[in-house]
Chains A and B, each alone.
Chain A
Amino acid sequence: MKKYFCLLKLQIKNAFLTLPKIFAGTLIFSVVLCAVALGAQAADKSSGAPKMQVAVVLPDDKYQNMRDEDKYVRNAFEYLGQIDSVKNVCEFVFEADEVKALEDLKNEIYTAVVVIPERFISSIMNGENIPARVIFKESGVNVTSSVFQEMLRAGASDLSTAQAGIYAVDDVVRALINQNGALEKSNAHMNSMYMSFCLDRNIYFENISAQDRGQPTALQFYTAAGFVAVMLLTTLVCASLLAPDEQALADAFWRRGISGGLSQCMKILGVTLVFYSVYAVMFVLASLSVMRFPEAADIVSAADGFRTADLSKAAASFKNIGIGLVALFVLLLAVISMAGMAYRLLGGFSMVSGVLFLFFISVVMMFASGLFIPSEMLPPAVVKIAAFLPTTWFFRLCAQILTGTVQAACVLANAAYAVFFMAVSSVVSRALHYRNGGGHSTYAKSNGVMSIDE
């Protein structure tokens, strides 16, 4: 028994000697993935359809209160510009010179010009309603112009609804309240309220916090996907650690009663412990940082209870972190076992073939599991297959660790994958040993060979 513990200790030591390499690999792959994500985001923005430019011409400063009116108009257009449906297609540019704006419209710099009349706001307030002029080109009106026209109609409809409300309240106040100043106050209040309601379209949508049901938010989804990708890719730098033993060493181990499969399992355990030492520290630090930086809970909600003064919630957070640490170990064991199996299958030919094989299966499986693009965008057949892929279960457990909703079934599925991968490694090792002329199973047994496939 002593020799098994001694070899295990040495394999763990061997793995820890490469800790700087693994740490650097984790860092490099994290940076690369972040860069790719940011690049994709930037490319997505730049490849979008060009926005229409609409000039907004403000009136000349002839009247005393014009500066205030300018402010209101500017505010209104800024409100408009912030609405998702508007900002994706349209950008407002304030122009002081109407002639220049019209010239630019001719030169197709602007899609339309909105000329704000004098006393525009005050005319709305007193019911006079001086209309703003919206000018399109005489010729060459196209789909873009039509889209803007539709937007204007929708906006005008919203505004008229708002105005109707304001006038109704105005009439009610006039009829029922005779206090001095009450009418002006109610007008101002209703103006503000209706304007914000009609311009803020968020009120039309229902906000659902999926996080409360244990589902990851978008941020947590991509964080979990990123972690799984980094874990799998970092195993590429462990090729020398997880590659099968050279034949002479494997034979020597065999003579001492240690099968190739057992040796491989010890290597996997050693590498897992090294990865665990990196990821467990990251997880605990991130969890504890929730106390100081509550924003971190957007990523690691396993520690969400620390944000409140509620002791029972904080205790639950500690429990979540404890369970998360156990689940993290199982997750890493499964990930490293998969890498170990890949190296066992092809690493015997050459290190490069093992690395390429692992890279290929990792990327394909991550893609099929919906880690790069949402599963909804993949063919149904791929989604069905993905349910059985290890990367799907790696991702689920990773997301559960982050959200503090670890489920025993998911941990067991990952543990089962780990056992399966190690068993395959062991069977392949044994098959190769026999193929190379090895034998003496009686010798191995009577020497107490420990092998997980026996």
Chain B
Amino acid sequence: MSLIEVKSVAKKYGRHEVLKDVSFYANTGECVGIVGANGCGKSTLLKILSGSIKPDSGSLVYDGADPLKNVKIFERLIGYVPQENPLMTQLSVMDNLKFWYCDSSRSLKNDLINGAPAMLGISTYADKRVDRLSGGQKKRLSIACALAKQPPVLIMDEPGASLDIVCKEDIKNYLQRYMQSGGTVILTSHEQTELELCSRMYLLKNGTMHELDGHPGAAELKSVIMGL
């Protein structure tokens, strides 16, 4: 059985039907990539998967259970990194981490030495105010916050958008380690380097999901998305 199973999920915003019939799955330790044109509903799908919004219909099965009935499963299984960083910007990096670690079984002190925050390089600027960080530093912090409870699934919405190459590489390296330790990643992206991480890829188009064969290159991906 797959760790994540999504069946016939649909979502409307008013009359606009963003998702019509979305079904896919993700296994433990793999990275699933979702591609599609801007506005095709990728972010909406990830919000549904993370429990931020509710689908109009369809079902989710996480680790054999229905999170829509027992919604604590979302918090236990899912770490979510949205496009915009969910950070308290006037506080320090440390304060933000404290909030996400406050009811975690993990020790922030230890993690700043050899956990996700350390691997993402956050320890070096832990005392800085968030609104004084660069975009890349904020994104690293968002990922570290999402991983505070060490969830087995990490959902990321365009993690590399507007980041420099070094930052993208660091995040990519961390995701590889995360998957090696058994973590599952679901991400949306337009970046070829990030999509290289994916073991399977889906195209979201006209509100439905289509599994892509293999690993399309940049040109091929473009023609698939544009429907050429």
Which residues does A use to contact B, with CB under 8 Å?
2-3, 6-7, 10, 13-14, 17-18, 240-241, 246-249, 251-252, 254-257, 436-440, 442-444, 446-447
In the complex, which residue of chain B has the Cβ closest to the Cβ of A443?
B71
B80 near A10 with CB under 8 A, answer no
Out of A14, A248, A440, which one reaches B84, CB within 8 Å?
A248
A6 near B51 with CB under 8 A, answer no
Out of A7, A17, A257, which one reaches B99, CB within 8 Å?
A7
Please give the distance in Å from A171's CB to the nearest CB on chain B. 88
B11 near A437 with CB under 8 A, answer yes
Out of A10, A247, A256, which one reaches B88, CB within 8 Å?
A10
Central interface residue in A13, A247, A254, A255, by most chain B CB within 10 Å? A255
In the complex, which residue of chain B has the Cβ closest to the Cβ of A1?
B103
With A2-B102, A2-B103, A14-B91 as known contacts, state yes or no: A247 contacts B54, CB within 8 Å.
no
In chain B between 10 and 54, which residues have their CB closer than 8 angstroms to a CB of chain A? 11, 13, 44, 47, 50-54
Q: What 0/1 readout, one digit per residue, does chain B (65-88) give for beta carbons within 8 Å of chain A?
A: 000111110110000101111111
Chain B binding surface SS class? loop
- Once bound together, how far apart are the Cα atoms of A3 and B74, in whole Å? 17
A6 near B71 with CB under 8 A, answer no
Q: Which residues of A contact B83 (CB under 8 A)?
A: 248
- Once bound together, how far apart are the Cα atoms of A443 and B53, in whole Å? 10
Please give the distance in Å from A347's CB to the nearest CB on chain B. 15
Q: Which residues of A contact B90 (CB under 8 A)?
A: 14, 17-18, 240-241
Please give the distance in Å from B107's CB to the nearest CB on chain A. 14
- Once bound together, how far apart are the Cα atoms of A247 and B84, in whole Å? 8
With A246-B84, A255-B52 as known contacts, state yes or no: A3 contacts B72, CB within 8 Å.
no
Please give the distance in Å from B95's CB to the nearest CB on chain A. 6
- Once bound together, how far apart are the Cα atoms of A120 and B86, in whole Å? 91
Q: Could you write out 7 A-B pairs with CB less than 8 Å apart?
A: A17-B90, A246-B86, A254-B52, A255-B51, A256-B75, A436-B53, A443-B71
With A10-B99, A437-B44 as known contacts, state yes or no: A248 contacts B82, CB within 8 Å.
yes
A251 near B95 with CB under 8 A, answer no
Please give the distance in Å from A273's CB to the nearest CB on chain B. 16
Q: Which residues of B contact A246 (CB under 8 A)?
A: 84, 86
A10 near B98 with CB under 8 A, answer yes
Q: Which residues of B contact A17 (CB under 8 A)?
A: 90-91
Q: Which residues of B contact A257 (CB under 8 A)?
A: 75
Can you add 7 more A-B contacts, CB < 8 Å, to A249-B88, A437-B54?
A: A2-B103, A10-B91, A10-B98, A13-B91, A248-B82, A255-B75, A447-B75
Please give the distance in Å from A131's CB to the nearest CB on chain B. 81
Please give the distance in Å from A174's CB to the nearest CB on chain B. 90
- Once bound together, how far apart are the Cα atoms of A403 and B174, in whole Å? 64
B51 near A440 with CB under 8 A, answer yes
In the complex, which residue of chain A has the Cβ closest to the Cβ of B55?
A439
B71 near A446 with CB under 8 A, answer yes
Which residues does B use to contact A, with CB under 8 Å?
11, 13, 44, 47, 50-54, 68-72, 74-75, 80, 82-88, 90-91, 95, 98-99, 102-103
Please give the distance in Å from A33's CB to the nearest CB on chain B. 28
Q: Which residues of A contact B72 (CB under 8 A)?
A: 443, 446-447
In the complex, which residue of chain B has the Cβ closest to the Cβ of A257?
B75
Out of B13, B87, B98, which one reaches A6, CB within 8 Å?
B98
- Once bound together, how far apart are the Cα atoms of A84 and B14, in whole Å? 73
- Once bound together, how far apart are the Cα atoms of A240 and B80, in whole Å? 26
Please give the distance in Å from B156's CB to the nearest CB on chain A. 13
B53 near A437 with CB under 8 A, answer yes
B102 near A6 with CB under 8 A, answer yes
Please give the distance in Å from B98's CB to the nearest CB on chain A. 7
Out of B44, B53, B69, B85, which one reaches A248, CB within 8 Å?
B85
In the complex, which residue of chain B has the Cβ closest to the Cβ of A7?
B99
Q: Which residues of B contact A13 (CB under 8 A)?
A: 91, 95
Q: Which residues of A contact B82 (CB under 8 A)?
A: 248, 251-252
In the complex, which residue of chain A has the Cβ closest to the Cβ of B87?
A249
Q: Which residues of A contact B51 (CB under 8 A)?
A: 255, 440, 443
Please give the distance in Å from B209's CB to the nearest CB on chain A. 19
In the complex, which residue of chain B has the Cβ closest to the Cβ of A246?
B84
Q: Which residues of B contact A18 (CB under 8 A)?
A: 90
- Once bound together, how far apart are the Cα atoms of A438 and B88, in whole Å? 21
Q: Which residues of A contact B69 (CB under 8 A)?
A: 442
Q: Which residues of B contact A10 (CB under 8 A)?
A: 88, 91, 95, 98-99
Out of A3, A252, A446, which one reaches B102, CB within 8 Å?
A3
- Once bound together, how far apart are the Cα atoms of A447 and B85, in whole Å? 23
A3 near B103 with CB under 8 A, answer yes
Q: Which residues of B contact A444 (CB under 8 A)?
A: 71
Please give the distance in Å from B109's CB to the nearest CB on chain A. 16
Q: Which residues of A contact B50 (CB under 8 A)?
A: 255
Central interface residue in A7, A251, A436, A444, by most chain B CB within 10 Å? A251
- Once bound together, how far apart are the Cα atoms of A248 and B80, in whole Å? 11
Please give the distance in Å from B50's CB to the nearest CB on chain A. 7
Q: Which residues of A contact B71 (CB under 8 A)?
A: 440, 442-444, 446-447
Out of A6, A14, A252, A447, which one reaches B86, CB within 8 Å?
A252
